[in-house]
Every structure is written in structure tokens, then in C-alpha cells.
Structure 1
């Protein structure tokens, strides 16, 4: 109906007609009031002019008296001159007028002509006569000139009387006009009131009354009622809309087709929810990596709920941090800022404690607090928990650019899907642990085989035994004495190698706690070798996947083994930085070696080759920095894109 009203031509709109009528009436009223004010102002100015002109008659006679009193008294001349100046100023005010007082003569030709006559008489006769009296020094002559002045004075005063009479006649006419305008304004107000009442009844009261009658009839189940469309304004649009509504109600009342369609639509929506649940559950049951599970889950949910963005966050219970696993429709700036946050730092983290978080409009929240999603341009937010065995392991959020209300059915669906995702993640973690355990078992088997196959050490011992046999045949006791310590040293070295290999191959992470295992390895190295070992752990990044943690631990063990065998070091420092990227650095102050010579040997240096291979399995970069007498530094860098989700 609003659209139909807006499409009406402006000339047919009721609001335009009411506004136009009001403006016309207001303009006429203001014009009448303005004209009466103008007349009042003119009457006031004319009255002041009458007073000033009347005062000229009195001043004329007073000037004659002052001239008579000044005869023979030169000191009285200044007072007469002052009176002449005041007379001139009064005439000038009458001629020019003063809008501030107000004071002005009416602008009729007769009044202006008479004013010029008064000024002419004053300038040519009265003023000149007064000046002649003041200029004469002989008292007798002054009396004669004064008599001549007094003789001309009545004519001048009569001229002033004529001016005053003309002004009074003009003001009387304006007073009559003022009364007529006021009377006309009263009648115009009465006529405008009657016209306004009639128009209100014609435009508003009548259509409203007819519409009320139609609604009353429809409320009594008279569905045949229709309103006449007599105008093309808003009430005509309302009447048309009322008739359309009546037609629809009558149609619905006759058939139940629309109701059946509505029920069918609801059943389709429920079927769509069930199909979404089955489809998502089927996808989560596939043997995908955790990251792929989360990404596929998020894409399906966003498509179903019509979200503009979303994230899946995994909870690290040890540090109470939430780590973004996958995201869609979110800027890299926001991901960089929130890739790792405390659970109490944002709404997504709050959901892990309080359950579901639904934000219909960010503007309704506390604006003193910063909401990164609102800064990103999102209007609404929905956050749900990811549960596994009734334990919160993360949350997933849906971001909407426009206002979005999550219905009860959608809420129940998302809660169920959150539990399904949690179960899928937990299953993948169990599978990863099973793989890690299988690898550990395989390495135990390898350890059993390597127990008797330390090739390098056994080859050395074989040569020494052959030399010993040769010495025994020759009965060379001195040579036997030299060979015996070498055999003992070779046996001890092989024994230590076997023990270390067995220990390394049988190493297994307990509860995926890489930090504690690395501390145990460093402490055990320090106890066995007497070399001072120090480990520094920093960063709040997400934990590595179990298989990656195991490879990192093996690299650390191999690096410490090389220090024990070759470095002859006094101190070893291990630094681990677990941020978005993971890095491991092992530094010793031992003898060091020449890297060029090591590269020339190729695969002869088994320990370095093993560490390099393990780094390649991690898709990590491996580096060695060493120089003779300057110690050795081994670095391992695992970039963020190669990290697996734990």
C-alpha cells in the first residue's frame, strides 16, 4: 500500500492537497496581517508627523517672543540661533522622515506640495526675517524689522495649519482602511474555518467513516462488503487495498488450498533440514583431515543458513585459547588479529562457556566494548558450541551482513550439527593417535632389528678381531695389548649407540604433551652426559598434530645425540617458539665442524641426514650453521600453512 501511495501523482495525493490548502490560507492570513501592520505603522508615523508639525506653530510664536526679548541684548542672540537650528532640524525630520520612531509624512502629492510651501516660506521669509532682526544693531531699527517679521508670521502659521489638516485627512482615510481590513480578516477567518471543516469531512472524515463501516461489516462475517473507490488519493488506494483484502479473505474462506500449500511449505522446510542434517553427517563420517572436515562443514552450514561469513575455532584446554581452524568470508586482517584469542576476549570464546550466543544487532550491545565483527561490517552473529562427549572442544560462528533472526528450528539444527562436528573431530584425533601408536610399534620392531645391526660399529669391531687373531697366531703380545682397549672402546660405543637408538625408537608422546616430553629429553641428556642443558618454550600457538610432534621430538633427540658423539660441548641451549609458525633451535658451544667437508662426505654423516629426512616429512625447512671451534646451531622452521590441526 505504501508503494502504491508513493506512485500517485503529486497533484492527487491527499497530503499535497492539505498542504497546499494550508499554505494558501496561511499566505492570505499573513498578507492581511502584514497589511494591517503596515497601516498601523503608517498611522503611528503620521501621528508623530502631526505632533511635530503642530509644534512648529508654537515654536514660530516662541521665536517671535525670543526676538523681541533679544532687542538691545546681544547676549540673547545665541539663544535665538539655537531655536532657529532646532526649527531647521524639525523641518528636515518632517521632510526626510524617521523609520525608527516612526515619523514620516504620507506620500500624497498635496501633502508633499504643502510641505514644500512651508519650507519655502520658512527659508525665504520667516528665517530671513529672524536673521535680519539679529543682525540689526540699532534698537529702533530692530523694532521695525521685528514688526515686519510678526506681520508675516500668521500667514506662515496658516500654511502649517493647512499641512496638518491635510495629514489628518490622510490619516483618517487610513484609519478607515485599517478597520475595513480587520473586519475583512474576521470574516475571512470564519470562511476559512468553514471551508476547512468541509474539506476535512470531504477528504478525511467521510472516507474514514465508510472504511470503518466496511470493517465492521467484515468483522460480522459479511465477506461480500466492498468499498466504493470515489477518489484517486491515499484513501482511494486504501479502499482498493481493502477490496483486494476482502477478495483474498473470501477466496481463502471458500477453499483450503492456501492452507494446504502453507503446510506443504513447512513440511518441505523440515525435509530440507533433515536432508541438510543427513548430508552434513554423511560428510563428517568421511575419513578426511580435521581441517577439511571443518571447512566442508562450514561451507554447508553457511549455504544452508545463508550466512555471509563464518569461522570454526578449536579450543586448547591447556591454555584456554581458541584457534581459528578454517574461515570463510572473513578478511585476512581479522584472521590475523583473532587467529589465537582467549575464550573471554570475544563472543566466539564466550560461547564455549555460556553456550549459544545470538546477536541480532550489534548496535544494541554495549558500545563501550569493541566488537571486531561489527568493525568488519557484519550486522548479526550466531555462535554455537562444538561438543564431543559432552565436552566443549571449540565453537563455530556465522556472520551476517544484514539483520538475521535464527529461528527455533534452525537453532536446534545447528546445535545438533555442532555435536556431529565435535564427534567427527574427536574420531579423527583418535585415528591420528592410532596412527601414531602404529608408527611407534613399527619403530619398536625396527629397534629390535637394529640391536644387532649397528653396521659401522660392528665393522670396526670385525677388523679389530681379525687383527687380534693375526696377533695371536704370531704370538705378538704387545700388539694384543694395543688391540684389546680398542675392542673394549668399540664395544662400549656400540652399546651406547644401541641403547640410544632403542630409546629414540620407543619414544612415544603421552597425551600429545610435546613441551613436557622435550623437557624430559633435555633433562635425560644432561644426566647422561654431564653437559649443561637449557630449554626455553615460548608462544601461545595451537598444539601440533601428534604425528608432527613426534617428528619434532625425534629431531631434537638426534641433535642431542650428535652433540654427545661429536661436539664435546659444555652447554646446550634449546629454544622452541610456537606461534602461528613453529620453530626449533638447538645451539651448542662445542668444537663445530666444516660444512663444506660434511657435504663432500655425502651420506657419511648419518645423524644430519636423518634430521634432514625428518624435516622433509614435516614439509619444514632445516638449517645448520657451524664453524670449527665456534659451536653448532641447528634450526627447524615449520610454516603455518604446513601445520596440521591437532
Structure 2
């Protein structure tokens, strides 16, 4: 392209310069010819001046004849040799040169010799110079006419050259514009059209490569780019299709995982949990049958927990099996997935064991372990009546679901164990309460009954009359203790019910004892305790008031509860008190104090028990904000 531009510019410049040089040369020649016309025309005047000077010289007057002759000689000489500086030169044609030679010879050989002859002749005789002068003038006129004709011809050529220059300028401009269109505009338009087609995702667009210049290289590069884009776009479409399918699969897997996780977190018994799990994975993976099996306590047997889609004969045959007999057993033992074609059995495996599912019409069985924290709890299986190839993502999803099921079963077991532990703890507290109240009262009644029997055998009526009121009082106290324990253990609290239940407890205490109670419940901006913590606080209050009623013989009791950022409870009485060292030495023997400490430990609270003989006792409970649970 650069070569084309340089050549085109050089040709245009050379043509223009040539035309300019030609016109300048013609103008210069015309100017020189015009000067020659003037000088040639002056020959007639100078020849006439010479004749006048001769006449004056013969009449005796002073004349400049030599000067006039010299001027005429110089004019002829200038016409002959020309003067480029003026410019002055005769047109270089044969006719003009011949006519000039005639004029020059006529002057040099005819007119000029007669000047000296005429100067020496008398004035009365006619001048010989005048004889030849008309011929010289005529010849000079002929020379002028020839120069003027040549000048007119050159003027016509100048006009024609100027017109040709103008025409060539127009043609050249059109040619240049056309060439520029072919060389620049058309390739750029093709490139723009190609880019527009690429923008419309027509990656099959190609540009014609007609030249080997820069635009040819550009078109070739464009075609290569379009080809690569076409290949990449086709590959991108395939990738997008693949990624879309992959995302759809992942979405289905996530949906199945979310649905299964939500279901496994619902409160269900084990059989419902396993059956719901099995139903969902069979629907997700288009299985025609399935089982969930749990390892026995000895890890040697597999027990069928739930099944779907299996015949009654197959369920009966595999309800309980050794842990090393089939596909499900292999998955349960290793905790790894096992996928097997049931139409072929392993060479070392007994045919009757390998074809249980095969005889039932299943073509393939996939078994996966039920695992929780690296502990295998059992296995679940999917049964297919057609050949099934599970990709790695589905196998990984089923393994994950197996771990979720294992976690749910393990949580179910742990929740059952926690409930049993809570029941055992509550039974322990009940036993302690019975021991502290009912058991001691019954022991006292047993002693009184033994004494009553002895007095009756001895006939000591006075002793009998003394023992009977004691028995009646012991029975009434035991009845009150039993009723109080029943009320305490049946107490249920909701969030925000603590004030009401504390008021009921204080009122009941006032009915059962002679002590006056001053109590205060201050809601100091603290959040309400959850029901579990409220219940433990209430049990501590009930136990403290029960101890006051049984042992303190107090006349006044003060109960203060403050629910601020920290929770505080204080129970004080003015009873007979006790020795702190004596209580500390008895340890767990004092069941009431031990029960309160256990309940405070469940709360995560600090419990302070203080007493002084003759000056009452004090129970203080402090639950800091960091140990409070959300209501």
C-alpha cells in the first residue's frame, strides 16, 4: 500500500511538474518572442533614424549617425544571440532564422556600406541609403510578422496546454479518488461490514483477500480471527450447554440435599425417619426398590429397618442377615459405596446369596453406608430393574445423604440418651426429696408405731395417749410433704410466668406455716428467663422455703428477686439457724442443701448458703448475664 501511494504521488507530482515546466517554458518563450517583436520592429525605426542622421549630416548640421548605426548593429546582434535575462530571443524556427539572416545581410551588405558613401557625396545628390531602405523595412516587417505568427502559435499551445492541464487535473483527481476508493474506502467498508456481521454473531463472515498489501493482510487476519471466534463460540455453546446441564444437576442435588436435611431435622421416630429418607432418594434417583438397614449391637448382623418396593418374600429373606453376606453388608462394614450388577455374581460368592435380588427381578443394586463421625451405623440400598451407571457426582451425593442420615440417627440416639439421663437425674432429685421428707417422717412414724405396740402390750394407756397425737402429727406432716412434692413436680412454666408462680409458692408457704413472708419481685429491665431456668429457680425457692418450714421455726421470712442484667434471688429467715461448719461437714448428707446446689449447677449460677445459730439462715442465688439463656 505504501508503494502504491508513493508511485501514485510520484506520477501525479511528475505530471504536474511537467505541465508546469511546459507552461513556464511556453510563457518564457512567449515573453522572449514579444521582446524580439519589439526589437525587430525597432529595426525599422532605427533604420529611419540613420536616414535622418545622414540627411542632417549632409546639410551641415550635427548628427549622431554613428550612434544610430551602433544602436541598429547592437539590436541586430541582440536578436541574433538573444538575451535570456530579459528574456529576448528569436523563435527557433527555420523561416524566422532565414528571414533574420536576410534582414541582417541587407543591413550589413547593402545599407551600411551606403552610409559612408552618402556622407561623402554632395547634399544635392540623392541618398543611396534611401534606395535600399524600403527593402530593409519590408524585410524587417516580414521578420516581425513571422515572429508574431510563431508567438500566436505558441500562445495557442499555451492555451491548449493549460486546458489540457485543467482536464488532466480533473481526470487525475477522479482517478485518484477512484484509486483511493478501491485501495482504502472499499477495504474499510468491507472490514466494517465484516465487523457488523461479527457483532450480529455471524461468525461465518469472511473478507475477500484480493491484494497482498496491508488491507490484504488485515483481511486475512480478520478471516483468521473470525474462524477462531467461530470455533470458540461453537465450543462456548457446547460448554454453556454442558455447564447448564451441570448446574441443573447440581441444583437438583442441592434441592434433594436441602429437602432431605429439612426432613431429617424434623422430630420423627426412627422408622418414620428411615422410611421418609428412603422414599425421597428412590424418587430422586428413579429406583424401583430400596432398604435401610441398621447394624446390631454386636456388629455381626444387619436388621431391616425400612423397605420400599421389595416383595414380601425378599423382605422376609433379608429381614435379618449376617453382616458379610450381600452388597448391603459390604457397604455397612466398610462404609463405602458398592454398586453391583446382580445378573452376575462374584466367582467366590454362593449363587443362592448372590441372586436374592436378581431372582426378584433387579438388574443392579447400589448400597451406601450410613456413617456418623467415622462410625458406621448401617447401610441403605437402591434397587434398579435396569442397567444403571451412576456418575461420580450422584455417588458423592448419596454418600453425603448417608452421612446426613447417620447424623440424624445418631442425634436421635443421643436425644434418647439425654432424655433418659434427664429422667434419671430428676428421679434422683425426687428420691432425694422423698428421702429428706417422706422417708424421715416414715422412719419417725415407724419408731412411734413400735413404741405404741410396746405400750399396748404393757397396757400403758398413758403412753398410748402420748404416742397417738405424735402419730397423727407425723401423718399430717407426711401428707403435707407428699402434697408439696406433687405440686412441685407438676409445676410447668412458660416464658414470663415466674412472678405468678413465685407468688403462688409464697402464698402456699404462708398457709402451711405460721411465719410471715415479705417478698419483692423487681423487674429491673432484665429479659425474662427461659422456662427451663425459671423452673430450676422455682425449685430452689421451694426447697429453701420447705427447709424453713420444717427446720427453722421462723416467725418472719424475706424473699427478694431482682431480674436485671444479672438475676439474683435471696431467701432469709429469723429462725434458729445452723452452724455453717456443721453443714459443711455433713456434705451430701443434708439432702435439701445438696438438691439446691445441684439445681444451681444446672443453671450455671452461684449459690451461697449461710446460717448462724439463733439468728436465722440465708440462701442467695446469683446468675450472671453470660450464663443466661435466651427466652
Shorter-chain TM-score: what band?
0.3 to 0.5
State TM-score, norm by structure 1. 0.36
Bigger Rg over Cα: 2
By relative contact order (CA 8 Å, sep 6+), the higher-ranking structure is 1
